[in-house]
Amino acid sequence: MAVFVMALALSCTDHSNPDLGGPNCSRVDGTPRLYPCEFEIVKIDFMQQSSNDATFATITPANHNVALKAALAFSYVKNSTLTATVVFKVRLHIKRIANPAFPTPGGYWISESVAGGEVDDPSVLRPNTYYPAPALGMAVGETIQVFSRLTFYTSDNVIDQGPSMISIQNPVTYANLAAAPNNYALVRDLSEAHYAGFNITYTGL
């Protein structure tokens, strides 16, 4: 449980663009974060089903619009006559913008927040269990690509718009920020980068 809780943290906030953690790394309330944010999520590619190469959409801080199609999902599971869980494979382009405040011998966590509450509520955060925790050991200024997944829920072919956020956590930094005397509680204040504010249109099966 402790590891799970540590994994469920997210964010640093660029005060000029609250949807993408950046070099300024302000907290949600606009005050500076205690430790610099390590990463920036430059863009996110939505992959066709399980492909590692073929994309059908790309979003950036300047373009939050994405048209999701159930036929392109990694998985589509009917929960009832009217509801379904739809999972999309995504590829994150992650740029290192600062060195880590603490080493991460177990790697980093890529997490998503899913429908059911506010984006800063740890109870709606889920760590990526599909891929090993990446080391993200690149130099400052270097960008690499990492795969993850995003989960959405539909009712009568209408997708739940939120909350939806994908983020990166350094579990050691997270633990230090969450503990006294810092007592950080908001997930966007606890992560090394985040991307939120997806503007989704959806076509069901």
Q: Would you say residue 182 has pLDDT above 90?
A: yes
**pLDDT computed for residue 23 by the predictor:** 47
**Eight-class DSSP state of 29:** T
Residue-wise pLDDT tens digits, 99-111: 999 999 999 999 9
Which of 39, 48, 37, 98 has its CA nearest to residue 72? Answer: 48
Residue-wise pLDDT tens digits, 192-205: 999 988 889 999 87
Which run of H or E residues covers position 5? helix 2-7
Q: Would you say residue 22 has pLDDT above 50?
A: no
Cβ(191)–Cβ(11) under 8 Å? yes
Give the CA dihedral 90, 30, 191, 138, nearest 10 degrees.
80
- Report, as an integer, the average pLDDT of 36-49: 96
Q: Would you say residue 44 has pLDDT above 60?
A: yes
**pLDDT computed for residue 61 by the predictor:** 86
**pLDDT computed for residue 17 by the predictor:** 36
Average pLDDT of the chain is: 85
- Report, as an integer, the average pLDDT of 77-86: 92
Measured between alpha carbons, how far is 67 from 138 in angstroms, rounded to an integer? Answer: 32
Measured between alpha carbons, how far is 60 from 41 in angstroms, rounded to an integer? Answer: 8
**pLDDT computed for residue 66 by the predictor:** 92
Sign, CA dihedral 24-27-32-35, equals: negative
- Report, as an integer, the average pLDDT of 21-42: 84
pTM, rounded to two decimals: 0.84
Q: Is 149 exposed, middle or buried (0-12, 13-18, 19+ CB in 10 A)?
A: buried
Q: Would you say residue 46 has pLDDT above 70?
A: yes
- Report, as an integer, the average pLDDT of 82-104: 94
Give the full edge-to-edge strand order of the sheet including 165-169.
125-127, 109-113, 165-169, 193-196
Is the backbone peptide bond immediately before 122 cis, with ω within 30 degrees of 0? no
**pLDDT computed for residue 55 by the predictor:** 97
Residue-wise pLDDT tens digits, 114-137: 766 688 887 777 888 778 899 999
In Å, how far are 8, 29, 83, 174 from 34, measured between CA atoms? 19, 13, 42, 11
**pLDDT computed for residue 8 by the predictor:** 37
Measured between alpha carbons, how far is 82 from 1 in angstroms, rounded to an integer? Answer: 33
**pLDDT computed for residue 4 by the predictor:** 38
